[in-house]
Amino acid sequence: MSVDMEKVMNLAGPIPFTNIRDSKIVVENFCSNDMAIISTNKTTNISKGTHAHNSYEFDVCRVPMPSVTIDNKVHDKPSNSLFAINPMQEHGLLTAIEGFSLCGIHVDKCAMQSVADDIYGSPNIVFSNDSFIANHDISLLVNLFLEELKYKQVGHEFLIENLALLLVGNFVRHIKHNLPAKPHNKPNNLKDSIKKAIDYMNENYAAGVSCTELAQLIRMDKYSFIRIFKSQTNKTPYEYLIELKIEKAKKMLRSSKSTITEISMACGFSSHSHFTSTFKRKTGLSPTEYRLSL
């Protein structure tokens, strides 16, 4: 269980749970930089009244949820329904509820607007407050996101970033909103921007290059950069960089007498073992086997 109410409240604002002081019992939450998922249980008491926050909120009701008020309009949300609440929309309950099972997903406003701008050419997305079915894909992505944050296995940061993007993309696709059905074409200079990032990777692969650094280089936020890079190359920036390093290593294995350790350092790998395992995963051979096969 991972309970960090201060981090949750940075995204979600005030949380209307009457017994929140006992947060480790009444709520389980998992947070990345731009997304918080809050899961209530049978011991959670949700108070009467309304509140607002600056994040986008997407709620999945595991059981029927009566008397939800959003901007003074009353909604009765059925079991397994998914509905959205926009930043600074007043929302809450007309009557207090005890032991209610709800999954609330809060998405940072800038992150959501970045995705909307990337897909539709406008960041000004406003979702309908109607009920939609929480489909299998959304449920699966939520569970994968929770597992990665809970167990923190190797590479979890990378997977969390991509799972968050997939979740946001599914919300945009699945829930009715104000932006036009046909996305706008993005400016032609996107190709030039991605080429600039690739050129930078070719020049600095040995020194270590991050998505944040590349996004700043072309004056783009990180989420838009990852999405656009993949649309242009069919690879994430991380995948592209790893393949670039492997190709540089192959060239050195063919044309130099440098040791495996020297090549791993020259290609920007953190250690001999990391280089060897990555090289074998990508090529089917260890660096030594590859060199002997030439």
Instruction: State how far the Cα of 222 lies from the Cα of 227, in Å rounded to an integer.
Output: 9
Q: In this structure, are 149 and 94 located in the same domain? A: yes
Is residue 180 in some structural domain?
no
The reported pLDDT for the residue numbered 26 is 38
Instruction: State how far the Cα of 237 lies from the Cα of 256, in Å rounded to an integer.
Output: 28
Q: In this structure, are 144 and 113 located in the same domain? A: yes
DSSP code for 132: E
CA atoms within 13 A on the CB side of 70: 21
Reading the block at residue 92, the tokens are 């809450």
Count: domains in the chain: 2
Domain boundary among 174, 198, 233: 174
Q: In this structure, are 18 and 121 located in the same domain? A: yes
Q: In this structure, are 72 and 204 located in the same domain? A: no
Q: In this structure, are 162 and 193 located in the same domain? A: no
Residues making up the chain, counted from first to last: 294
Domain boundary among 145, 174, 203: 174
Q: In this structure, are 52 and 149 located in the same domain? A: yes
**What does pLDDT average to over the chain?**
84
How far CA 41 is from CA of 29, 38, 148, 159, 211, in Å, comes to 11, 10, 21, 27, 37
Q: In this structure, are 74 and 108 located in the same domain? A: yes
Q: In terms of residue numbers, what domain contains 37?
A: 5-174
**Are 172 and 124 spatial neighbours (Cβ–Cβ below 8 Å)?**
no
Q: In this structure, are 237 and 164 located in the same domain? A: no
**Are 236 and 229 spatial neighbours (Cβ–Cβ below 8 Å)?**
yes
Is residue 279 in some structural domain?
yes
pTM of the model: 0.59
Phi first, then psi: what are they for 110, rounded to 5°?
-65, -40
Secondary structure of 5-30 in HEC code, one letter for each residue: HHHHHHHHCCCCECCHHHHHHHEEEE
Q: What is the CATH number of the domain that holds 118?
A: 2.60.120.10
Residue type, 14: P
Q: What is the CA radius of gyration of the chain?
A: 23
Domain boundary among 174, 198, 223: 174
Environment class of residue 162 by beta-carbon count within 10 Å: exposed (0-12), middle (13-18) or buried (19+)? middle
- Geometric angle at alpha carbon 46, from 42 and 48, rounded to 5°: 150
Q: In this structure, are 47 and 167 located in the same domain? A: yes
**Are 73 and 21 spatial neighbours (Cβ–Cβ below 8 Å)?**
no
Is residue 37 in some structural domain?
yes
Q: In this structure, are 157 and 204 located in the same domain? A: no
- Looking at the DSSP bridge assignments, the partners of residue 177 are 127
Ordered mean pLDDT values, 10 residues apiece, the chain (294 residues): 54 56 48 81 78 92 87 90 94 83 88 86 91 88 85 84 89 90 57 89 87 88 88 91 93 90 91 91 92 86
Helix boundaries (H) for 205-236: 211-217, 222-233
Q: In this structure, are 207 and 151 located in the same domain? A: no
Is residue 221 in some structural domain?
yes
Which helix (DSSP H) or strand (DSSP E) does residue 106 occupy? strand 102-107
Q: In this structure, are 82 and 201 located in the same domain? A: no
Is residue 179 in some structural domain?
no
The reported pLDDT for the residue numbered 25 is 39
